[in-house]
Amino acid sequence: MYSATIRHALLAACVALPLINVAHIMNTKANSIVREIFMCDRAIPPSVAPIKALGKFYHPGHIKCYHCYAGIDDRTGWKEHQGRVYCRQDFKSLFLPKCRACHKTVEKNAVSAMDGKLKGKWHLECFGCHTCRRPFPDNTFYVFEDAPYCKRHYHELNNSLCKRCSDPIEGYCAYTSPENWRFHPNCFTCEVTR
């Protein structure tokens, strides 16, 4: 088994050494991958646009994504996280939250619960009832087992729909056992005199 510590330390910067070619062998489940890393201590000429990352300047091509080892430049873009440099794609997939509905990365506007009753984030367009997928136009929703529901489906899951009128019951109700039926107080009447 080979040390990943050396690999990541070498990927992080062009160090003050003469031009060297460092081959690093990474042991994986199926096979070994040989990666070459070129580092230098040469000056960056004025004709070359340097890459500035981690508070230092690098020749284009000398800094690589910590995760996928792809070269990073101004065209591809990068993000810094905990002293490491990542290409934009890896940064998104590794560190940004995923939408609980579509499982894609949530980059900008997101819906999340302020009270902590609902865990995770959603895209604005994905946030809706867990059963029927309809949005919540008045921003009112119910939480059941850490998922958002519309009024009807929440009460259906909680067995709190009126047996007579089928509307959700909020507040007092009449309950019959062993059938486990619930009624609005004004719906719980005799069938004969109704």
For residue 78, the cross-strand partners are: 87
pLDDT single digits (tens) 138-185: 888 889 999 999 999 998 988 888 888 888 888 887 878 778 888 888
Q: In the prediction, which pLDDT does 95 show?
A: 92
- Please provide residue 9's backbone torsions phi and psi, each rounded to the nearest 5 degrees: -65, -40
Task: Look up residue 124 and give its DSSP letter.
Answer: G
Side chain identity at residue 194, one-letter code: R
Tell me, what's the pLDDT at 192? 53
Q: Which two tokens stand for residue 38?
A: 């070129």
Please provide residue 79's backbone torsions phi and psi, each rounded to the nearest 5 degrees. -135, 145
Q: What is the pLDDT of residue 46?
A: 82
Amino acid at 25: I
- pLDDT values of the chain reduced to their tens digit, one per residue, 194 residues: 333 433 333 333 343 333 333 333 333 333 333 323 335 677 888 888 888 888 888 888 788 899 998 888 888 888 889 989 999 899 998 999 999 989 999 988 888 877 778 888 989 899 999 999 999 888 888 899 999 999 999 989 888 888 888 888 888 878 787 788 888 888 887 765 55
Q: Where in the chain is the domain with CATH 2.10.110.10?
A: 4-95, 96-151
User: Class for domain 96-151, per CATH?
Assistant: mainly beta
Asked if 182 contacts 168 with a C-beta cutoff of 8 angstroms, the reply is no
CATH number of 4-95: 2.10.110.10
